[in-house]
Amino acid sequence: MAIGTPEVVDWVRLSAAALEDERDRLNRLDADIGDGDHGANMARGFTAAAERLAAAAPETPAAALRTVGMTLLSTVGGAAGPLYGSFFIGLAGGLGDAAEVDAATWSAALTQAVAGVVRRGKAELGDKTMVDALTPAAETLEAAAGNGAAFGAALAGSAAAAETGAEATTPLVARKGRASYLGERSAGHQDPGATSSALLLRIAAETWGARDE
Amino acid sequence: MVGIVVVSHSARLAEGVVELAREMAGDVRIEAAGGIDPPAAGAPRGLGTDAVRVMEAIEAALGPAADEPAGVLVLMDLGSAVLSAETALDLLDPAIADRVRLAAAPLVEGAVAAAVAAQAGQSLDEVAAEARGGLGPKLAHLGGGRPAETGARADESGSVGPPRDADRPGDASWQQSRFVVTVAQGLHARPAARFVRAASELDAVVEVENATTGSAPASATSLNAIATLGVREGHELIVRARGPEAAEAIVRLRQIATERAESAGADSGQDRLAPILRARQGSADSAGVDAPAGGLRGIPSSPGIAIAPLRRIGGGAAGVGAPPIAEQPSGSPDEEWAALGRARRIVRDEIAARHERLAARVGGEEAEILDALALALDDPALLDPARAAIDAGRSAGRGWADATADMVGRYRALADDYQRARADDLDDVARRVLAELAESAAPPASGAALAPAARREIGASRSRPESAPADSAFILLARDLTPLDAAGLDPATVRGIATAGGGPTSHGAILARALGVPAVVGLGDALLALADGTPAILDGAAGLLLPDPPDATRETYRERRDEAARAAAATRAVAHEPALTRDRVRIEVAANIGGAREAAEAVAAGADGVGLMRTEFAFLDRDSAPSEDEQVAIYRAAGEALAGRPLVIRTLDAGADKPLPYLGMPPEQNPFLGVRGLRLGLARPELLAAQLRAIVRVAAELPNVKLMFPMVATVEELRAARALLHGALEQSGATPREGFEVGVMVEVPAAALIADHLAAAVDFLSLGTNDLTQYVLAAERGNEHVAALADGLHPAVLRLIGEVCRAADAHGRWVGVCGELGADPAAIPLLTGLGVRELSVAAPSIPAVKAAVRALDTTAAGELAERALAAESAAAVRALVVESAGADPAAD
């Protein structure tokens, strides 16, 4: 199985819908340790990105992802804007001109995108950020792709790793972003950025993995 | 001409700043990049930052390509504005991005200063420096000052800092306190780490000066900056703070810096060292003898005898140098920085793991040494210069090595031996980070030879001694023993420690003592010439290492070792037995404790009870006094832990010397002569009444509880306290058992002189010999110039103690001692001879005090005490005690 531009557009569209559904939960998570607008910001950004993709009809998966990145930069507003913007622009860079994406190319692109986020946010594993979900996801995908796993199964494993990583942020003390002002009090709350990252990867697995059958 | 971009979450703020800046410099291209696209057409722009918009603003500010490419300075407000500006640089053509600087400058002041500099035709770097210094004029005007920067800031282009000295003294926004440091050894690793942690937790900007050395101010949140102030016991410190929690910060820091080592084992490293140093100077049998032929003489560091082969670890090996440093960065500055972060993280995790194991073995107090190492890893005074060097194109290893070497050099320049030894700790941590960097940088195949060597060189003890089978016990031989090495030692296999370098105050040596491993340091380079596996004897108390000993010597030492082990076991075995003098007089040996948790520790150490439970801890580190119920829970826990043994609870002993922020006590010129102890309780009767209710409620449940009032000087005070107690009994409805004992502390000379009147009104008297001595001799123990005067064996103090015992005896009351004098071997026969029947001491001293009591005869002690009362000086008293111990045939 491989996916093309329409599947990438589907992913963004379904992610926008899922973020709309999860808007309140993400806001609540963010309210615990931040300023409470992560759900609203993400829903706004992805809705705008989906609209722009619908209007623009990009030619390659990379072009679609770049559009998403640029849109997020301009519409999300908080730190998630440049961070997710860097993530999608990194994905686009990793894919290059490929018309179709398979497990190996997606794994390489994801690894590059996560590196971009790490560089932008200067966050490391365990800092209670989206990196805690994205890094295990990229590593799991890389291992699965290396073992020749089916793309759908690899994506599902990657999404599960992201969710586990997001859940594991709960006891951590934030070292980055606004939550770090809370110090020890940030422990006991799941990080909203890690949660939305896991959500995006879950939607990718569901949207694209269904095509395995 | 340099262009300027103003990035803000708010479009209106960005435009407002641009308007102000343009007014100053009409020709400069200044662009606003504020807010995000409006949520709906026609709506105002939303709050947030947009990297694309920042990129476009930069392009606009750069001007037409034909212009001279002077560059663009970007000023940002906070948070995501910084991330968006960085993202914008990614989006730009690299050739353009190279001509853009992001300024860590105040937004409004920075924009205006930058605009003026740009208008004047200054270069991009000059404009950036102007922007960063933008707060200067405001600081000069308002006199705000700012905390001292520690180390070199990550500001290699030379920020124009605010004027620094003119603005501070007398400035109303700064609160200031000046005091003498009394914590033993000064602000070294553990107190310094506590100090820095406290300063970091509070919402205040705090800076510290060492007034004694005339140091420059240093930030209280930098461990290295504090440590390199070289603050020793007796130094005068100036702490200055501003911000919402400034007052509390000063109080907390003052507490930490003026803590005394009177709580059990508070600075056991030094306490345990003292007898060793004395043995070394004195006549201990082997210490005065020259090293036998072939033997090496070093500095005794941890007593005990070890007989085992030598095994070399770490830096003692010839030809193994520092970990290799890759001079060439292998990636971008950000990647180098991340690599350094990973290496620091690995070392931090390693320290944490050892901390846990060490705390389990020797207790949290000693393990705090490792906390200081972990703090060093995250110290801005190291990280800022490292980051600056990396950003300037150096490799992660080079940046870190230079930053740490600079700090190590500053430690080495300190005057105090103890603090100078901290250089080695920091150096060790720095090298571990470098080794991890080398490890991660080396490609898997070719690095195999390099990385393990680097690991072995610095971390051998974690892999080898720990995994050695139990029958392969050895004496560890090393150039130096770092705290991390020591923390990783397994006493089951490491029988002794011999090092070429180091001193007895090195943290490695302190931890060796805590672990009970014999150690000799400073044996010299000859040690390093010894072959691995050489059989050897190490005599920790004498400071000797005997390689290849003849069989006879080995036999002698084996007997001595076994004898010492038997004696130690015997002392421990009888620590839980009551202490009876040779003429069968029972002396109660009790513990001084500072919290409920310590009650169990006291019992474990063999305490017959608790002669002094300080209650201050329950009142510290909080915003209000503890409730009656909270206090009940604490006192009950202590009482229950003692399982029927006596528990003397002392009411709150706070005052201007030990202030509680929420009481709002005014500072006093002479806090030791001010409102403290019972005086405070009577001035704040609601506080004392609640505590008394809590105590009598617990006393009604547990018959072992007794009550004691501190700092009594007059009979009237005692009556007033009694009246409050009466009220507490009525209010609480609690009825303690018949004979619920109430006592007073005798620490004011006046109380000692009217002991007959006090004894008539209480059940017992407890001598607080620390304060009594200070008051009698008018000499503060914390003041190094007069500390020697404050000797509890001065005949004047002993005469007062004699008075108190006589008066108490006449009324059938018992007398205890709850000061440090009770644990002084020279004082025990005198106190007992004068009539004291309870000695309350720090828990670790209990076995030794009991042993001293068992060697006594009260009649002989009484005669000795009579002679001591007639002696002319403390020195004469000591001589009497030594003479009588020598003349006593039973003292074997």
B318-364 pLDDT tens trace = 334 567 888 888 888 888 999 999 999 888 888 887 777 776 666 55
Does any CB of chain A come closer than 8 Å to the CB of residue B391? no
pLDDT tens, position by position, B815-824: 999 988 898 8
Q: What percentage of chain B reaches a pLDDT higher than 70?
A: 82
- Quote the DSSP letter at residue B671: G
Q: How high is the pLDDT of residue B69?
A: 64
Does any CB of chain B come closer than 8 Å to the CB of residue A118? yes
Higher pLDDT, B507 or B706: B706
Angstrom distance (rounded) from CA B705 to CA B146: 52
Percent helix / strand / coil, chain A, rounded to 5: 75, 0, 25
- Two tokens at B342? 């990973």
Contact A119 B48 (CB under 8 A): no
pLDDT tens, position by position, B182-231: 776 677 666 777 787 788 778 888 888 888 777 777 888 777 777 778 78
Which residues have a Cβ under 8 Å from the Cβ of B245 and sit 6 or more positions away? Answer: B202, B203, B204
> Per-residue pLDDT averaged across A38-64, rounded?
93
Q: How high is the pLDDT of residue B628?
A: 93
Cβ atoms of residues B30 and B74 within 8 Å: no
- Two tokens at A183? 């110090």
With contacts defined as CB-CB under 8 Å, which chain A residues touch B92?
none
Task: Print burial letters for B405-422: b (CB count within 10 Å at least 16), e (below 16).
Answer: eebbebbeebebebbbbb
Of the candidates B179, B174, B181, B195, the one whose C-alpha atom is nearest the C-alpha of residue B240 is: B174
pLDDT tens, position by position, A185-194: 888 889 999 9
Q: How high is the pLDDT of residue B541?
A: 81
Residue B68: pLDDT band (50, 70, 90) is low
Average pLDDT, chain B: 80
Contact A44 B52 (CB under 8 A): no
Contact A74 B80 (CB under 8 A): no
Q: What is the largest CA-CA distance in chain B?
A: 106
Contact B86 A41 (CB under 8 A): no
Phi/psi-derived region of residue B841, left when phi > 0, alpha when psi is between -120 and 50, beta in every other case? beta
Residue A93: pLDDT band (50, 70, 90) is very high
Q: How high is the pLDDT of residue B281?
A: 36
Min Cα–Cα distance to chain B from A82, Å: 5
Cβ atoms of residues A40 and A76 within 8 Å: no
Contact B37 A75 (CB under 8 A): yes
Residue A19 Cα distances to A22, A45, A86, A192, angstroms = 5, 10, 19, 12
Q: At what angle do helices B858-870 and B874-887 cross, to 10 degrees?
A: 150
Which residues have a Cβ under 8 Å from the Cβ of B769 and sit 6 or more positions away? Answer: B747, B792, B797, B801, B817, B818, B819, B820, B821, B822
- Quote the DSSP letter at residue B324: P
Which chain B residue shows the shortest CA-CA distance from A119?
Answer: B334
Cβ atoms of residues B587 and B857 within 8 Å: no
Residue B828 Cα distances to A161, B142, B571, B752, B889, angstroms = 67, 61, 17, 19, 18
Residue B521: pLDDT band (50, 70, 90) is confident
Length of chain A in terms of residues written: 213
Contact B37 A81 (CB under 8 A): no
**Cα B828–Cα B831–Cα B832 angle in degrees, nearest 5:** 80
Scanning the structure block, which residue is given the tokens 């209000």? B624
With contacts defined as CB-CB under 8 Å, which chain A residues touch B37?
74-75
Among candidates A82, A119, A178 on the partner chain, residue whose Cβ is nearest the Cβ of B84: A82
Which residues have a Cβ under 8 Å from the Cβ of B45 and sit 6 or more positions away? Answer: B11, B34, B35, B36, B37, B38
Which residues have a Cβ under 8 Å from the Cβ of A170 and sit 6 or more positions away? Answer: A187, A188, A189, A190
Contact B80 A73 (CB under 8 A): no
Encoded amino acid at A175, one letter = R
Residue B406 Cα distances to B228, B345, B387, angstroms = 11, 22, 14
Angstrom distance (rounded) from CA B53 to CA B47: 13
Encoded amino acid at B809, one letter = D
Among candidates A74, A83, A124 on the partner chain, residue whose Cβ is nearest the Cβ of B341: A124
Scanning the structure block, which residue is given the tokens 């914008």? B88
Residue A101 Cα distances to A16, A126, A149, B537, B854, angstroms = 21, 30, 15, 70, 86
CB atoms within 10 A of CB B882: 11
Residue ranges of B 23-42 with Cβ closer than 8 A to chain A:
36-37, 39
CA atoms within a 13 Å half-sphere pointing along the CA-CB vector of B688: 27
* Chains A, B: CB pairs < 8 Å: 74
Scanning the structure block, which residue is given the tokens 């209106």? B12
Angstrom distance (rounded) from CA B480 to CA B502: 6
> Per-residue pLDDT averaged across B90-103, rounded?
88
Q: Is the pLDDT of residue B783 over 50?
A: yes
Angstrom distance (rounded) from CA B595 to CA B363: 16
ipTM greater than 0.90? no
> Per-residue pLDDT averaged across B477-488, rounded?
78
Q: At what angle do helices A192-209 and A38-56 cross, to 10 degrees?
A: 40
- Two tokens at A41? 């910001």
Residue ranges of E strands in B509-660 = 519-521, 535-539, 544-547, 579-580, 586-593, 610-613, 647-650
Does any CB of chain A come closer than 8 Å to the CB of residue B349? no
Q: Is the pLDDT of residue B283 over 50?
A: no
- Two tokens at B290? 């020259």
β-partners of residue B309 are B535
Cβ atoms of residues B261 and B270 within 8 Å: yes
Phi/psi-derived region of residue B548, left when phi > 0, alpha when psi is between -120 and 50, beta in every other case? left
Q: What percentage of chain B reaches a pLDDT higher than 90?
A: 33
pTM over 0.90: no
- Quote the DSSP letter at residue B342: H
Q: How high is the pLDDT of residue B352?
A: 81
Among candidates A76, A79, A122 on the partner chain, residue whose Cβ is nearest the Cβ of B79: A79
- Quote the DSSP letter at residue B299: E
Q: Cα(first)–Cα(last) distance of chain B, in Å?
A: 91
Taken in order B8, B13, B15, B16, is the CA torsion positive or negative? Answer: negative
Q: Is the pLDDT of residue B460 over 70?
A: no
Contact A74 B79 (CB under 8 A): no
Residues of B annotated as part of the active site: 507, 818
- Quote the DSSP letter at residue B153: -
- Quote the DSSP letter at residue B233: T
Cβ atoms of residues A14 and A203 within 8 Å: yes
Among candidates A78, A89, A121 on the partner chain, residue whose Cβ is nearest the Cβ of B48: A78
pLDDT tens, position by position, B613-659: 989 878 876 778 899 999 999 999 999 999 899 999 999 998 766 67
Q: Which of B7-21, B466-480, B771-785 has the highest mean pLDDT?
A: B7-21
Min Cα–Cα distance to chain B from A77, Å: 4
- H/E element, B499: strand B494-499
Min Cα–Cα distance to chain A from B229, Å: 28
With contacts defined as CB-CB under 8 Å, which chain B residues touch A121?
83
Range of lowest pLDDT (A29-43, B830-844, B875-889) = B875-889
Question: What DSSP line would sit under A3-54, residue for residue?
Answer: B-HHHHHHHHHHHHHHHHHHHHHHHHHHHHHS-S-HHHHHHHHHHHHHHHHH
